[in-house]
Amino acid sequence: MDPVLKDLVQLLDLERIEDNIFRGQSRDIGTPQVFGGQVLGQALSAASQTVTGRVPHSLHAYFLRRGDVDLPIVYEVDRARDGGSFSNRRVVAIQHGKQIFNMAVSFQELEPGVQHQFDPPDVPGPDELLDLKDISRDALARAPERMSRFVTTERPFYVRPVQMPNFDNPEKQAPTKQVWMKAVDPLPDNPSLHQRLLAYVSDYGLIATSTLPHGIAYMHDNVIMASLDHALWFHHPCRVDEWLLFSYDSPSASGARGLSRAQVFTQEGLLVASVAQEGLIRLIDSVE
C-alpha cells in the first residue's frame, strides 16, 4: 500500500487507553492546524469502537479550537443511548486540557425502506481530468506559499477537479463545483474503515465553495478561514478506493460565515453520502 495512505489508515486506528477513552496522533498536511477531516475520522473511529452490530448513518460535529499537530488528541466517548434499533454516541476531542471538537454520531441496524435520490451532475469522468498535484509549476509559483505547500504535499487521495481552481487571482463565479476523489491504492474490505476515510475526505474543499461568488483567493494572507461545524449523512455503503464524485454548492454566505454542501456519488451515479458545513470567512481588512 502507498505509504501515505497506509499512514492515514493507521492514524484512524486509535489507541485505546481504557473503556471509552482513545488517543490519536496527527499529521501535517500543509494546513496551519490539524486537518478537520482527520479529527472527524478519528472521532468516528472512537465512537464506532463502542458500538456492535450497527453502522453510523449520520454525524454532527463542531470545531471549537485549532488542533495542535505536534500533540496527540484524546477522544472521550459518552455512550448516550442504545435503543431497539438506534445507538447514539457523543465524542469530545481534547488537547491541552481543553475541548477542541465535539461530535454526536447516530448508529442504526441495517433495515430496508423506501428509496429515492437526486441524479448526479453531468460532468467529465475522472480519466478525462488532471489531478490537483499535476497543476502547472507556473501556477503554483504565483500562489501563496501556504497554498503551494498544501497542493504539493503528498496526499492519500487522488483529487481531480472538474473546474481547475485559479489559486492566484480567482474570478467571481457561481458557487458550485465538482471534484472526483479516490484513495491512491486499494484498501481492505472493511466497511467501517471506508466510512472513516469518507469522513476524512469529506472535509476537503467545502469552505472554499463559499468563496467562489466573491473571487476570494483561498489561503491568501488577507483571508482567515476555518471550519465551524460539519454534518455527514451516510446513505449507502461505498468504497473510497473507487472514484467518488463530490458535487459542491454554497446556498448562502453572511455574517462572515459561508454554508457549503456536497453530494457524494459513485461513478455509477449512486448517491452514497451528503455533507454540510458552515465555515468562517473573514477578510482581515474588515477586522477592527
Does a structural domain hold residue 114?
no
- Binning pLDDT at 50, 70 and 90, where does residue 145 land? low
Is residue 201 predicted with pLDDT exceeding 90?
yes
Average pLDDT over residues 99-105: 98
Q: What is the pLDDT of residues 44-74, one digit of tens each?
A: 999 999 999 999 999 999 999 999 999 999 9
Q: What is the pLDDT of residue 288?
A: 40
Q: What is the pLDDT of residue 254?
A: 95
Residues 6 or more apart whose CB falls under 8 angstroms from that of 43 comprise 59, 61, 75, 91, 93, 101, 103, 105
Does a structural domain hold residue 64?
yes
Beta strands in 64-139 (DSSP E): 73-82, 86-95, 98-108
Catalytic residue numbers read 203, 227, 277
Average pLDDT over residues 150-170: 82
Contact predicate 123/164, CB 8 Å: no
Domain residues for the domain of 274 are: 3-109+124-286
Contact predicate 201/240, CB 8 Å: yes
Q: What is the pLDDT of residue 137?
A: 60
Cell numbers at 198, concatenated: 469518507
What is the spatial distance between Cα 194 and Cα 187, in angstroms, rounded to a whole number? 8
Is residue 30 predicted with pLDDT exceeding 80?
no
Is residue 23 predicted with pLDDT exceeding 60?
yes
Does a structural domain hold residue 119?
no
Q: What is the pLDDT of residue 273?
A: 98
Is residue 136 predicted with pLDDT exceeding 80?
no
Total domains, the chain: 1
Does a structural domain hold residue 160?
yes
- Binning pLDDT at 50, 70 and 90, where does residue 287 land? very low
Task: Find the largest Cα–Cα distance for the chain.
Answer: 58
What residues pair up with 24 in beta bridges, in sequence order?
A: 73
Does a structural domain hold residue 255?
yes
Which residue do the cell numbers 458557487 mark?
A: 175
Q: What is the CATH number of the domain that holds 89?
A: 2.40.160.210
Q: What is the pLDDT of residues 219-278, one digit of tens each?
A: 666 788 899 999 999 999 999 999 999 999 999 999 999 999 999 999 999 999 999 999
Does a structural domain hold residue 118?
no
Q: What is the pLDDT of residue 151?
A: 65
| H-only helix segments in 143-245 | 145-152, 191-201, 206-209
Nearest to 24 by CA among 37, 32, 106, 60: 37
Q: What is the pLDDT of residues 75-93, one digit of tens each?
A: 999 999 999 999 999 999 9
Q: Is 55 exposed, middle or buried (0-12, 13-18, 19+ CB in 10 A)?
A: middle
Does a structural domain hold residue 44?
yes
What is the spatial distance between Cα 57 and Cα 198, in angstroms, rounded to a whole number? 12
Does a structural domain hold residue 117?
no
SS3 letters for 221-252? Answer: CCEEEEECEEEEEECCCCCCCCCEEEEEEEEE
Q: What is the pLDDT of residue 238?
A: 97
Cell numbers at 23, concatenated: 488517543
Contact predicate 65/96, CB 8 Å: no
Q: What is the pLDDT of residue 135?
A: 72
Nearest to 102 by CA among 63, 47, 73: 63
What mean pLDDT value characterizes the chain? 91
Q: Is residue 99 helix, strand or coil? A: strand
Q: Is 93 exposed, middle or buried (0-12, 13-18, 19+ CB in 10 A)?
A: buried
